[in-house]
Chains A and B, each alone.
Chain A
Amino acid sequence: MPTPPQRTLIVMPAFNEESSVGAVVAEVFRTLPGVSCLVIDDGSSDRTARVAARAGATVAQLPYNLGVGGAMRVGFRFAVENGFHNVVQVDSDGQHDPRYVPDLLAALDTADIAIGARFAGVGSYEVKGPRRWAMSLLSVVISRIAGTELRDTTSGFKAMGPRAITLFSSNYPAEYLGDTIEALVIAARSRLRITQVPTAMRERAAGRPSHNPIKATVYLARASLALLVGLLRPATPIPGDES
């Protein structure tokens, strides 16, 4: 059942992105005619909200910075309240190419969450050293939990179908890394089907991942914590979902 573009909401968390958000919104409307675009201004101190609104996006302004998780919660609630079927999370800094959104949406025919994965064959996104080991380890563990191979568990480029939106609108972690790792664990344990779609990331934000080994270790520790907390919490049943 293909969903018409009118039922698809592009959600863009934006924190001080006045220099890029306008172009990204314009590109979304150009590549994906008919979709709605909600920019969540996550407590920016610059003109992010204004620029996004002038570019034609619907803008929700958070009174202070909540992080990507908090911003996405607003997006999911907006989607539920306004009857959207699918939510696609796109970064406001331009690293995600909206041309892949139809691929992600197509994958939702057989899944509840489609991740735009950076290491799955397309593009040249490359991470080395400890950070790479951390990400590989996460990918192995989460793939096992989800029961499907997921190469890129920390990607912020994701499409979510109706069941995922219902789950996440009431239950989305707002901690650091919670919006990627813990959210996937919650989804997998609520028996949502997760899949990945190979995507290329653009140079701009994907350009310099940190190679500092101490930072990578801290990253691994925090990611493991997010993973563990996700596993410890009881599985959440999806409202109105009997099977």
Chain B
Amino acid sequence: MTVASYVLGIAAALLVLIIVTEMLRRRRLRERHAIWWFIAGILALVAGVFPNTLEWAARLVGVQLPTNLVFFVSIAILFLVCLQHAAELTTVEAKTRTLAEQSALQELRIRQLEQQLYGHDRLTADNRDD
């Protein structure tokens, strides 16, 4: 391994950690979303600073080429993050749908009140056209 590639590995890992920390600090990222990127950044940093740990871990799980372990772990983390996002998107969609339904029913009640008060409402009034 050349010095340049050694430095590159460490710099990339540090960059990830700095970006994630900064986004957390500015409330652009919530803790539970940041956690996976933190784990990824720290793993990359450890493997970058001490390449021996990577070789040791590869031997431990029986992966012949240490780089392949890097790819495997990276893909696994990306996969989990995607799954987490899909799950949260589902929750958010369900919530917005409930809000939309509730807003429709509340809007209906407002118009019924208008009807009682003025004898017409936004939809049945003749003078307006939306």
Contact = CB atoms under 8 A, between A and B. Distances in A.
Interface in A148-204: 174
A77 B107 contact: no
A70 B101 contact: yes
Given A66-B97, A70-B97, A174-B97, A60 B123 contact: no
B103 A63 contact: yes
B15 interface: no
B100 A60 contact: no
A53 B111 CA distance: 11
Interface string A54-70: 10001111111010001
Interface string A72-116: 011001100100000000000000000000000000000000000
Given A49-B123, A54-B124, A61 B97 contact: no
A50 interface: yes
A62 B123 contact: no
Given A49-B123, A53-B123, A53-B124, A62 B101 contact: yes
The 5 A-B residue pairs with the shortest CB-CB distance, nearest first, are A53-B123, A60-B104, A60-B108, A62-B104, A74-B101
Interface of B: 97, 100-101, 103-105, 107-108, 111, 121, 123-124, 129-130
Interface of A: 40, 49-50, 53-54, 58-64, 66, 70, 73-74, 77-78, 81, 174
